[in-house]
Amino acid sequence: MVNEYLIDDIEKALSNLSPSDFVRHIDSAIEILRKERERGFLVGGKINGGLVELQTPDELVVIGDIHGDLKTFLKILEDIKLEHYLANPNNKIILLGDYVDRGPKSIEVLYAICNLKQRYPNSIILMRGNHEAPAEYPFSSHDLPLKIIDYYGMDMGKFIYYKKIFPFFRLLMLTTIIQKLLLLVHGGLPTIEVTTTNYRSHIANAQENILQNRIMEEILWNDPRSEILGGHDWEKSRRGVGKHFGINISRKWLEATGTRAIIRGHEPCEGYKLDHAGIVITIFSCKDPYPNFDAAYISIAGKKLESIRTGADLVDYTIKV
């Protein structure tokens, strides 16, 4: 297969992943992400802080939560014939975050996504999940530090975790918009008043403004719900962080951004699920930590993407692994 070389290369590197190799790939990814933000663009799109806005790609793949499930992640890359797919810089792979924790191969998944960003910087969009914000929003299931210390020892492990991985996490994207078509986040939509004139600044500056507002928290932690108590637009989340948001919030964001459907991850499901009358589709892409659920990803050509009217139209392009 045309993509066997790259997949084999990743797997061989992971079999003996030295601290220096791991750090080198993280540093390379950090430099690429920094330069993207400084330039404000990549092939087929522009970058403003934590916001990526893309033109319609020739082909699009969307991958949800990975959670250290390297086996399923590599299977997805094999399925899409990775090297052939990424030979065209106008093809995009958007990863929705939650690369680490829960599964057995968090370190290896981090290496793999940094490797891909290094090789194909214009085609790989790395978004931030709530598990990539442990310093801002601590939670009990964050096992990445222990795995790194166990793998590399206390001193080297702490250096890698705090001095390398934290800066990498902070450069990941919060929201991706495919103009006139899709709005992609990890968790959900902020419950703020949003308009066509303010949504860019809200998203772009969310990370810098975490002490002034909860926009980043809500992007990373919120979940859609069909029924909100008392008929309100939102309620406090039973996760203890973030909120549950109702269909009116989804409609407001689609109207403000001029998009048709919302894609997000964050919740285990049978590979995918629909919320808010099909406006919202959840994609979940790991099996190992969640054996009672399925894994799936979206793969769709740009011409087909332009014909969708809602998230429900993406079900035909959702592939279970």
Task: Determine the average pLDDT of the residues in 265-269.
Answer: 97
Count CB neighbours of 40 within 10 A: 11
Q: What is the pLDDT of residue 21?
A: 86
Task: Determine the average pLDDT of the residues in 256-279.
Answer: 98
Q: Is 232 a catalytic residue?
A: no
pLDDT tens for each residue of 96-149: 999 999 999 999 999 999 999 999 999 999 999 999 999 999 888 899 999 999
**Confidence category of residue 17, pLDDT binned at 50, 70, 90:** confident
Question: Which two structure tokens, joined as six digits, stand for 297?
Answer: 């990803």
Tell me the C-alpha to C-alpha distance, in Å, between residue 103 and each of 70, 106, 173, 288.
8, 7, 23, 6
Q: Which residues pair with 133 in a beta bridge?
A: none
Q: Which of 263, 253, 258 is nearest to 300 (CA)?
A: 263
CB 111 within 8 A of CB 22: yes
Q: How far is residue 321's CA from residue 64's CA, in Å, rounded to a whole number?
A: 12
Q: By three-state DSSP, how is residue 255 classified?
A: helix
Task: Determine the average pLDDT of the residues in 47-63.
Answer: 98
Count CB neighbours of 290 within 10 A: 17
**Do you know the residue count of the chain?**
321
All domains in the chain, ordered by first residue: 4-183+195-205+268-320 (3.60.21.10)
Please tell me the pTM assigned to this model: 0.95
Share of the chain above pLDDT 70, in %: 96
Among 25, 67, 131, 276, which one carries the catalytic annotation? 131
**Confidence category of residue 5, pLDDT binned at 50, 70, 90:** low
